[in-house]
Amino acid sequence: MTEEFNYLRRILLDFDHGVELLGEKTEPVDPGLVELLKSPSKRLSVQFPVKMDNGTLEIFRGYRVQHSKLYEPTKGGIRYSPDVDLSVITALAMDMTLKCRVVDLPFGGAKGGVICNPREMSPDELERMTRRYTFEISSMIGPDSDVPAPDIGTGPKEMGIIFDTYKMFNQKAPDAYAVVTGKPLSLGGCRARLEATAQGGAYVLEEAVKQGCARGLTSLKDATVIVQGFGNVGFHTANILHKDYGCKIIGISDSKGGIYNPKGFSPSDVLKYKTDEKNEKKSVIGYEARNTLAIDEFLTKECDILVPAAKETQIVGSIADDIKTKVILELANGPTTNLADKILFEKDVYLIPDILANTGGVTVSYCEWLQNKEGTQWETDIVNNILREKMTTAYRDLVFTVKSYDVTTREGAYILATSRAIQVIKDRGIFP
Ligand code: NAD
């Protein structure tokens, strides 16, 4: 794998660069602290059998990584995908440490995943796999130690199963609901959690436009938007920007390809088409058939706002050259490579980096965890007000950092995260 495509390597490079910039302005950062912040605290790799519907046994490999215990519990999603490996999960866990510092939540970073293709598994197989995986990582997870959440390939159903499995082994735990977030409402889930990552991204985008940072874009009304990925984050982003802000969603894609129409789509109609029983491909492709686009053509269509909401390493150097947008709102984790970053900066594209843009999910997860600890359930308005406040404050802190250090938005986000993490370590001291 080349440097450009190795996600963990890219995060470590960005981190080192942030530390360097921080040291130039203040005092140089203790190399021991830098090493501590780069080293994952605990990594568990498990292999386990699952009985498949046809009676055969299949062996699955899964991981859980706790990156940093600056604060506990650690927090991070669980990914079901054929692309999962220990390096990607470690990178995503480090991302979570940085995100929690940018948006100022008292969590450390973690991530987990299983190598599998959930689209090719039956609901029963997925349930058995989820229960066994939960059992395998049970030494790590708990309401005060490590709290999983949804990510690619998982959602409220899997989170409900994780809660139930944990509860079977912890009958007397008074706060068992707090072992996992992103649960269904009936199991202590939080209102507005499902769309939280998208809503958080929308709040940041709105603030960027308000502050005049969005390269001449003065309003979101009629702004043209292309969204890559049409799962939880992609659909809700398209839907919120269309319904609440009046944006025109001119492009939508999933793993099979994209659709494009300058007149705009109704995201909820496209979702209906994608999830229709008769649509065997379960893809957006075929919706207004003449407007189908290949995956590599999709990201380079002209628009005001480009939203990568699929997976890491999508906007690479060769694509960045041809990108024609004013703003990139990174809702996926790690969608843009370092080389692409440089090209986009030179082209004056305004980038809202992932470790700020997609923290809406973990912010509302924090709300869910607090509610589970208190035994309450808040109304949607309360959750969304907290989300807006947290996201806009973090964005203003980023703008301030970018100005103070005269750096790019990605560099600013890393400086913000690193300086706050270092402060936590200094305040706690090192045991013993
Ligand atoms: P999901 O599994 O619900 O959806 C992923 C979507 O991406 C699917 O529609 C899939 O078809 C599509 N996709 C995959 N490869 C693609 C490609 N090459 N081109 C276009 N589309 C492609 O996952 P999600 O929860 O929506 O997560 C999406 C991204 O957002 C991931 O990077 C995830 O880590 C990040 N994220 C998610 C959350 C959350 O709360 N779910 C929070 C923070 C960050």
**pLDDT for the residue 90:** 98
Question: What separation in angstroms does the CA of 329 have from each of 306, 389, 429?
Answer: 6, 19, 36
| Distance (Å) from CA 14 to ligand 1 centroid | 22
Euclidean distance between CA atoms 314 and 50, whole angstroms: 32
Residues 212 and 135 in one domain: no
| Distance (Å) from CA 404 to ligand 1 centroid | 33
Does residue 187 fall inside a structural domain? no
**pLDDT for the residue 311:** 94
Residues 205 and 333 in one domain: yes
First vs last C-alpha separation in the chain? 40
Number of domains, the chain: 2
Summarised one tens digit per residue, pLDDT across range 217-237 is 999 999 999 999 999 999 999
List the residue whose alpha carbon is closest to atom 13 of ligand 1.
Answer: 255
Residues 351 and 283 in one domain: yes
Residues 50 and 135 in one domain: yes
**pLDDT for the residue 4:** 80
Write the CATH number for 245. Answer: 3.40.50.720
Q: Which of 88, 100, 151, when mutated, tests ligand 1's pocket best, judged by the most ligand atoms within 8 Å of its CB?
A: 151
Residue 112 Cβ inside 6 Å of ligand 1? The answer reads no
Summarised one tens digit per residue, pLDDT across range 17-59 is 999 999 998 889 999 999 999 999 999 999 999 999 999 999 9
pLDDT at residue 78 above 80? Answer: yes
User: Which of 321, 355, 389 is where one domain is finished?
Assistant: 355
Quick one: average pLDDT of 396-404? Answer: 98
Catalytic residues: 111
Structural domain range at position 50: 40-174
Summarised one tens digit per residue, pLDDT across range 144-158 is 999 999 999 999 999
Summarised one tens digit per residue, pLDDT across range 413-425 is 999 999 999 999 9
E strand or H helix at 422:
helix 409-428
| Residues 195/319, Cβ–Cβ less than 8 Å | no
pLDDT at residue 1 above 70? Answer: no
Residues 141 and 204 in one domain: no
Residues 243 and 136 in one domain: no
pLDDT at residue 172 above 70? Answer: yes
CA-153 nearest atom, ligand 1: 2
Summarised one tens digit per residue, pLDDT across range 341-375 is 999 999 999 999 999 999 999 999 999 999 999 99
**pLDDT for the residue 228:** 97
336 Cβ neighbours under 8 A, 6+ residues apart: 308, 314, 315, 320, 328, 330, 344, 351
User: pLDDT averaged over the chain?
Assistant: 96
